[in-house]
Amino acid sequence: MAPQNPKVFRLLSAFEGLFRGTLYQHRKSTLGNAVASNLYEDLRTHGGSRKFNERVSEGRCVVNVAGSTRGVRARRGDGTFGATVPGSEATQAEGFAVLQGMVALTQIGAEFKIIATAHLKQIDRVTNDLTGSASSLREKSNSAITVGFAAVNYSERWTGIEGSRSFPVSRKPPRALQESEETSRRLVHLAAPSYDEFLLLKFSATNQDPFPFSWVNPPGAAADYGAVLVRVADLYEKRF
């Protein structure tokens, strides 16, 4: 039976935590890293790859939350997983089973993008960032498994924050749906082909007190992400 609650998965819960009950800090560059690092925890718990789990438990493979690969000059992603640099020291972050350290060979790389407002104004930049990141991940390793995430806000209201200033935006329901659906369609059409696995996440958040959050289709989000984990684990078994 498919999971009914996105909270089953750490990555989906971490993403929700960016918005629910708190101000979304869109200029904070580490948000993608913080969310994407949970992919590897979910792979360990739900993916089912014997190779992945053995290498994690033995400390032979780690996650680099900075998304870099030692000795490889390529654009970083939002968290890369792979073989650790021999002799380097790995650390364990509180609440995480997968160790963090320097990666010598990228095996899995992720990129996470969020479109919360100004959807069609942002779509070209976000698409270029996603496709560029996929190319960069493969520069690190031709065999790297690439995983892309794009989250689109379907809310009719949003308040942007710049320092002490706020910028409320309101969209009529038909326009909000049309813009959000068109943004989602373009992401799937233009960015998804660059990745081994690509997941579109549809949500609703206002960035206004009391900072509500909801998934457009909670069971669907959970089931789609769970399926991605199984397929990534299968690819890992075959490639590494």
pLDDT tens column, 91-149: 999 999 999 999 999 999 999 999 999 999 999 999 999 999 999 998 888 999 999 99
Length in residues, the chain: 240
143-172, pLDDT tens digit by residue?
999 999 999 999 999 998 877 788 899 999
63-87, pLDDT tens digit by residue?
997 644 544 444 455 679 999 999 8
pLDDT score for 26: 76
Question: Domain boundaries in the chain?
Answer: 8-239
Q: Does the pLDDT value for residue 43 go beyond 80?
A: yes
pLDDT score for 61: 96
Identify the bridge partners of residue 115 per DSSP, sorted by sequence position: 152
CA distance 113 to 150: 5
205-239, pLDDT tens digit by residue?
999 999 999 999 999 999 999 999 999 999 999 99
Sheet of 197-205: strand order equals: 61-64, 80-84, 103-115, 145-153, 197-205, 213-215
Q: Compute how many other C-beta atoms are within 10 angstroms of the C-beta atom of residue 103.
A: 29
pLDDT score for 139: 87
Q: Which residues contact 176 (CB under 8 A, 6 or more apart)?
A: 154, 155, 156
For 63, what's the count of Cα atoms within 13 Å in the CB-facing half-sphere?
28
